[in-house]
Structure 1
Amino acid sequence: MNRFFQIGEISQFFDVPASTLRYWEDKGVLHPEKGSENRYREYTVEDLMTISDVIFYKNLGLQLKEIRDMDDLTPVQHGQLFTEKLSELEQQQKMLTHRMEKLNRHIQAVKTLEDLQNDPYQESDIDTDCIVSFDLIEQDKLRQYIENPYLYSRVQHSQTLPLEQRGITVSSDMAVSFPEASILWRKKTNRYLTFLMKEEITAGFQNDLPCHLAHIQKTHHTGSIISRFLLCAQEHGRTYDFYKTFVEILS
């Protein structure tokens, strides 16, 4: 005698909502019998196998239509379908890896901010070779900024602080592809002091760069100033752009 299962039993057994089982039936993937007396859905042991297969293939990323039509495919067509799904997963994996890299960069920016707050004015080399001009209407450079906001840099000089220029940092190899007129700054020395510069997002965009510079100039002669964007965040109820700033030490 065949054993029959009610939809509630099947739902509990597979941990699949009854509404999902009904949806699969509507899409032609399941074909439960209807009881002759109460017309309730009655699932057989064969249906258990079908549901197991549906769950298996859904976990592989197949759509219900693809699962429904699988019995009509040849072995070669099966191979083609699975190869396509594998290719899709590989693309998704690349996207996820790329997204994780960007998240890690943002986490690193937060850590850099905290390190600069706790230990300012450390002497170090600068982490860029060249900065080229950046206009928001330049799509290629804007895409670079979207990929990595830390590339966005501000160029100033200690003697002409208000004359600020804004650009994108590039490697020395890439610099040769830009016209000389677009080069805002090139690395000449490797002695810099670093600190956290913050600029309030409000009218006037006041920042604390002059205070930091005055402190450093008590003991050093300074040259170029490079500020590289970290993140925008709140501090004490006010919103700031935070930068890792490098001040060139001349003597």
Structure 2
Amino acid sequence: METHRLYDIKEAAHHLGVAPSTLRYWEQKGLVRSGRNPANDYRRYALHDLITISEIAFYRRLGVPVKELRNYRTISLDELDATLDRTQKEVEQRLAELKDMQVFLERQRALNAQAVALQRAGMQPGTPVPQRLSAIDYDDPGLWLLLIDQPWRYGVVIEADEPNLVLESLTDLPPSEETRWEHAPESDRGLECLLRIDPDTDASNAPELFAHAAQHGMQPERIVASYLLTAAESEGGLRWDYYRAWVLGA
């Protein structure tokens, strides 16, 4: 009779890409079986055992629950097809969720890159990207859905004569009586910069930005800004909301 190669649990686990404890658990739950070495009662696996266990490992990676695989050795073709069909739908849903997460991640990296670039560049001539900032209707049921999906639509206006007052706003809504600022190309002179606001106290670097704008020969009137992200200025440092901002004036 042909002598077959047998694998101990460490070898089997290595080839299957799982931990030995996982094989023991699957055996305890009835998913897999192993032979025993009569000399020491250690588990050992034939090549065919590894093939079967690799199928179990595949289904587990797909997210098929252990309880659905307990009868794997006796599951019919129809039952297996139903399980695979259901699992395929779940995988497709997870892929769609991961795609959304990828879009969110790329967006956050782009916003972070903007913050870093603005921090390095200092104050430079620039035209505001938002065309309008409007007062927020806090009773609007769609407000949070809008800001969760498009957080950059959150903005602020800070007037030069009240540099410590932060007016929460939304960017580029239709014109209304609650418009806080609207772009006027013929009169607005802009200096682009990075605005930092303490989310707990509303303290900000707005006074310094107004002072720097004055040093550039501007008569600053206000800051308009759109939200980028929240982060500490350095490891263990103060936490700030960062905004892409423009100091506007004559």
TM-score (norm 2): 0.75
Determine the structure 1 residue equivalent to 2:60.
58
CA distance in 2, matches of 1:79, 1:183: 59
SS of alignment partner, residue 233 of structure 2:
strand
Q: Given the superposition, is the C-alpha separation of residues 116 and 16 from structure 1 closer, same or farther in structure 2, using an over 3 Å criterion?
A: closer
CA distance in 2, matches of 1:125, 1:79: 59
C-alpha offsets along residues 9-57 of structure 1, whole Å, 9 cap, x if unaligned? Answer: 4334434322211111111111224466754434334323211222233
Determine the structure 2 residue equivalent to 1:233.
232
CA distance in 2, matches of 1:208, 1:9: 61
Alignment of 1:26-175 (within 5 A): 26-34=28-36, 39-70=41-72, 71-75=74-78, 77-134=79-136, 140-158=142-160, 161=163, 164-169=166-171, 171-172=172-173, 175=174
CA distance in 2, matches of 1:132, 1:113: 23
Identical positions, percent:
24
Determine the structure 2 residue equivalent to 1:187.
183
Q: What is the number of residues matched between the two proteins?
A: 242
CA distance in 2, matches of 1:161, 1:65: 62
The alpha carbon displacement at 1:235 in A equals 4.7
Tell whether 2:25 aligns with 1:23.
yes
CA distance in 2, matches of 1:18, 1:122: 60
SS of alignment partner, residue 247 of structure 1:
strand
The alpha carbon displacement at 1:113 in A equals 2.3
Q: Given the superposition, is the C-alpha separation of residues 73 and 127 from structure 1 closer, same or farther in structure 2, using an over 3 Å criterion?
A: farther
Determine the structure 2 residue equivalent to 1:215.
212
CA distance in 1, matches of 2:52, 2:165: 72
**Partner amino acid, structure 1, of 2:182:** R
The alpha carbon displacement at 1:196 in A equals 1.6
The alpha carbon displacement at 1:152 in A equals 2.3
CA distance in 2, matches of 1:33, 1:21: 13
| Farther off after superposition, 237-246 or 135-144 | 135-144
8 Å CA contact 1:28, 1:68 repeated in 2: yes
